Chain A
Amino acid sequence: MALETDTMTKDPILKVEHLSMRFGGLMAINDLSFEAYRGDITALIGPNGAGKTTVFNCITGFYKPTMGMITLRQKAGKEYLLERMSDYEVNRDAKVARTFQNIRLFSGLTVLENLLVAQHNKLMLASGYTILGLLGFPTYKAAVGESIERAKYWLDKANLTDRADDPAGDLPYGAQRRLEIARAMCTGPEFLCLDEPAAGLNPRESLALNELLRSIRKDTDTSILLIEHDMSVVMEISDHVVVLEYGQKISDGNPDYVKHDPKVIAAYLGVEDDEVEEVIEQIEEIAPGETH
């Protein structure tokens, strides 16, 4: 299988092992293990309520998992156990950035300010924890200039340069999604988690998003983990797909492999096991170009 050769050559950036998360009596995630590889775009897919966002919240420190281990290995080799860190440390120290399903921008701040807030820790240091900055030290000014340059770079990539001085709340939906990704990138992450970045976008906005994601992969060393419902996005841009259902992993591999996994088809279409063959045939008829 293609999957196994991948594992041999590829270097995992994130390792999730035996992750479980219980809310009261509900087992939202049950003994989930998977890996995401450096340089890849890994997609986490699954039907509604499969526990995808919960996995995200565990990785980014917003939830403390009931059990399991989440290890992030940075390029320099340093390892972090994410489940032991609080949410802001996951970003600050482990360099994991994220976006949210229901966009969370600072809507009353301008687009540029949003991107500057994302560079808080770096600027905080440069301003000597505010004191040197307050006194007008040149090091701080230089750092601000640098931050604005980085903001400009991502504004350009997200195609938002024209709106830089407008309040973030004033942007159209698709632009808000791109801004949220740009903002996450301004924290300088090694690992970027995107929660349904294409949800609610029109085709043109979808295209702009894909472009942004591709440029992140091409021009930076940031690896991406994304939750997505839109299969066209998943199949087109991801290198590796993990499928969840009811908090458990049902499939794991490259997009082609996953697409033809009977379990995945059953989960998505809700058919009995013996009908799976039939479904595969139907799919091949509908989209013959994508099959082998």
Chain B
Amino acid sequence: MEYFVQQLVNGLTLGSIYGLIAIGYTMVYGIIGMVNFAHGDIFMLGGFAALIVYLILVGLFGGVPVALALFVMILIAMLMTGLWNWVIEKLAYRPLRGSFRLAPLITAIGMSIALSNFVQVTQGPRNKPVPPLVSSVYDIFGIAISLKQIIIVLVTAVLLTIFWYIVNHTPLGRAQRATEQDRKMAALLGIDVDKTISITFVMGAALAAVAGTMYLMYYGVIVFTDGFTPGVKAFTAAVLGGIGSLPGAVLGGLMIGLIESLWSAYFTIDYKDVATFSILAIVLIFKPSGILGRPEVEKV
């Protein structure tokens, strides 16, 4: 039983990170109907930004209180990736908006290749290890819960609350939802659609940066290729939950995290990704628009 709960905790932690990334996918998909393939690499970029900020802090001040260091890392990583995604949207996706559906998908794949190789070229191809930032582990009823895990789940929960509030209770969120429903009509009603879309990209990137920072803290290492696998898993999470739906993205992320950790714990770690992808395929075959996605009614 303890073992099971332990795996549940691990899965929840992992799932939180996937969920944070998945929100970026789902928001961008919701608002412009595009799969932003470069989003995983934005996550990786966020992790690198956090790493470099951490090294600057250590270099300048020697030791910094962990809470403060994490706060600064997250903040700067969010700003950084937000700026990156803003520029990317403007240069690579906006000129293609409203044209061919596959064109932005291809530029996004190109952007993903370019970003990971940009980091490889500028930061080197090797693994970047950092000494453990947070190492306390608590024993709660026989279950080892590390402070890292608590931080990750807490940060995710707080961010999701803020986010949920923004989307549901602010003029910005209203503009986003309106743009999602009908871009032309939203523009006619005086919503600055371009700006709304830009902000959506920035918000998604900021969440990915948080996920990147958490990832760096949790695993203590990052490398330029790290955007791909978590990116694909998060995309899977978004689709599993029903792409376009925010709660769906989080639910999907948690499910994927749980599947992965439970499968690794009880079966073989080698086939954990196979399990994840198989479950995705099975879910979609029986529920073609994801768990929380609105079923697409075929209009004849």
Contacts and interface: CB of A to CB of B under 8 A. Distances in A.
A and B touch in the complex (CB under 8 A): yes
Interface of A: 53, 57, 62-63, 100
B300 interface: yes
6 contacts: A53-B300, A57-B300, A62-B298, A62-B300, A63-B300, A100-B300
Contacts of B300: 53, 57, 62-63, 100
Interface residues of B, number: 2
Interface string B283-300: 000000000000000101
Interface of A is mostly: loop
Contacts of B298: 62
A57 B298 CA distance: 11
Contacts of A100: 300
B1 to A, nearest CB: 43
B296 to A, nearest CB: 15
Interface of B: 298, 300
B136 to A, nearest CB: 53
A64 to B, nearest CB: 12
B99 to A, nearest CB: 15
A63 B298 CA distance: 10
Nearest to B300: A62
A245 to B, nearest CB: 22
The 5 closest A-B pairs by CB, nearest first: A62-B300, A57-B300, A100-B300, A53-B300, A63-B300
A73 to B, nearest CB: 25
B276 to A, nearest CB: 33
Contacts of A57: 300
Contacts of A53: 300
A2 B300 CA distance: 36
A49 to B, nearest CB: 15
Contacts of A63: 300
A53 B300 CA distance: 9
A62 B297 CA distance: 12
Nearest to A100: B300
Nearest to A57: B300
Contacts of A62: 298, 300
A63 B299 CA distance: 10
Nearest to A62: B300
